[in-house]
Structure 1
């Protein structure tokens, strides 16, 4: 491509950065993937964006496969290319979307354990909220399902991380901080725990952590695991269940209700949208529609 044509890609990346609707990791992925496309177009002496046809794009993807790139990486490249062409059509650089018929290769991901909504409801009803422990356990279960946070993140949540007015939680981990909203029901459960149950568990009013155990010490990941397993047994949920099942169920139910993949990706803290794709893999047409609308 000529310098002018190269600027089209850079303009797209800049727009992504300034939009405020896209994570830094997604923008970096777009940049990396489109750099590969640029290199291929240079090799083919294609200097005008109007000459980038569906065949050119498919040949580029075939080249990536021949170079040993995994199906997951190629799927991510397709997402990036589709995002670029959506931009090109919108800005009238091209009339037709050459990426429209690109189909991602099948990406094999570990099967995730997703609970039904009835199983979730039964689980949430198990804690005895007349007790301090029950109020704490109810708040933990609700927060895990309502936000999809990991156990390691849950046990590290501080009271100051919860914004009751806005209804969201600031989640911190080693990769990236993120803010996740939660619903009215979860807000009410947390509010009850903060106003009543928690004060019976803490040893000091200076305690920063939201969730603590009987001894007034931080909850452990193993403690949360046992808690979830115990309530699952009492709810007669006979499928294997761990705290991760609540995280997966959160994402799966959001996708089922029509949430955009990127929105779920941001809430889950996934680096790649491919990780989020697993929750919609049973319905390929639906997944394609979500991708088209999102990217």
Structure 2
């Protein structure tokens, strides 16, 4: 494991990898290095055939195609770094056989299900007022949950009706619909001043202890209102992000605008929603056409 700490510094300091990417890449590389150790092979001496053998062993152990593909990407990255620091002359993970991954369409809520879900928090109650503001903002902008809980007061401009959201050093501006603006204004005027532990707290959304909301805390909020609404679909923070994108596309928004609001680096990540909308139309056709 002598190279793992150096690779971690590379991902953190030079690549500015997100916490999730950092965790998954390090886990993949650690498991690979363990396998090499069992085989008596040094990472600097590993050949392309060794890396191929490792990925085949993952499949034999029942790992999914998606897991194998991600591990291959992790190993390519690891060995690229090894080349950069002069430990090896060529990348043994280059040209690995691609594992076919079946890309599943994201689950979305119907417009009515979104309305029902957003109606659940009681804005007359302090907690409900905060929850209403968080859920409206999430559906209004399609931002990631990490971006939502990372928002500070200076990231919002309610008079102009937009938020500024930064991810990996890139900032994007996303508009807000009026219901979201009203919910946020209500929260900021009535509730947040009483919730914050310290007057200089920067976090937009805080928990009942007055500190920045956590991912786990917000996950519980989502599950609470799903149960309260009686919606059978499994709702996660990403479900609202997917629904935001699919509903915009259904109503005529262009893909590039949706890509910009979602913060996708590649348009191919956004194009998945065209398949979601097409599948939805096909389902409606098959259900309602008299000769289908």
Determine the structure 2 residue equivalent to 1:68. none
Determine the structure 2 residue equivalent to 1:188. 182
Following the alignment from structure 1 to structure 2, what is the Cα–Cα distance between the partners of residues 213 and 283?
36
Match of 1:198 among 192, 200, 203: 192
1:165 aligns with 2:163: no
Following the alignment from structure 1 to structure 2, what is the Cα–Cα distance between the partners of residues 170 and 242?
23
- Name the SS for the 2:167 alignment partner: coil
Determine the structure 2 residue equivalent to 1:155. 149
**Contact 1:126–1:235 under 8 Å retained in 2:** yes
Q: 1:283 to 1:225 in 2, by over 3 A?
A: closer
Determine the structure 1 residue equivalent to 2:221. 227
1:124 aligns with 2:138: no
How many residue pairs end up in the alignment? 180
Of residues 170-179 and 185-194 in structure 1, the stretch that sits farther from structure 2 once superposed is 170-179
Determine the structure 1 residue equivalent to 2:132. 138
Following the alignment from structure 2 to structure 1, what is the Cα–Cα distance between the partners of residues 252 and 110?
17
1:260 aligns with 2:245: no
Any unmatched runs of 5+ in structure 2?
A: 1-100, 279-292
Deviation at 1:109, TM superposition (A): 3.1
- Name the SS for the 2:256 alignment partner: helix
List per-residue Cα deviations over 1:53-91 (Å, max 9, x = no partner): xxxxxxxxxxxxxxxxxxxxxxxxxxxxxxxxxxxxxxx
Superposition RMSD on alpha carbons, in Å? 1.9
Deviation at 1:244, TM superposition (A): 0.4
Following the alignment from structure 1 to structure 2, what is the Cα–Cα distance between the partners of residues 193 and 159?
12
- Name the SS for the 1:171 alignment partner: strand
Following the alignment from structure 1 to structure 2, what is the Cα–Cα distance between the partners of residues 144 and 169?
11
List per-residue Cα deviations over 1:26-46 (Å, max 9, x = no partner): xxxxxxxxxxxxxxxxxxxxx
**Contact 1:114–1:252 under 8 Å retained in 2:** yes
1:236 aligns with 2:219: no
Following the alignment from structure 2 to structure 1, what is the Cα–Cα distance between the partners of residues 219 and 177?
24
Determine the structure 1 residue equivalent to 2:38. none
Q: 1:283 to 1:250 in 2, by over 3 A?
A: closer
Following the alignment from structure 1 to structure 2, what is the Cα–Cα distance between the partners of residues 127 and 283?
29
1:109 aligns with 2:93: no
Any unmatched runs of 5+ in structure 1?
A: 1-106, 285-295
**Contact 1:261–1:276 under 8 Å retained in 2:** yes
For 1:1-295, list aligned pairs within 5 A. Answer: 109-174=103-168, 176-282=170-276
TM-score normalized by the length of structure 1: 0.59
Deviation at 1:175, TM superposition (A): 5.2
Following the alignment from structure 2 to structure 1, what is the Cα–Cα distance between the partners of residues 268 and 103?
9
List per-residue Cα deviations over 1:150-192 (Å, max 9, x = no partner): 0100011011100111100000111521111111111011000
**Contact 1:109–1:278 under 8 Å retained in 2:** no
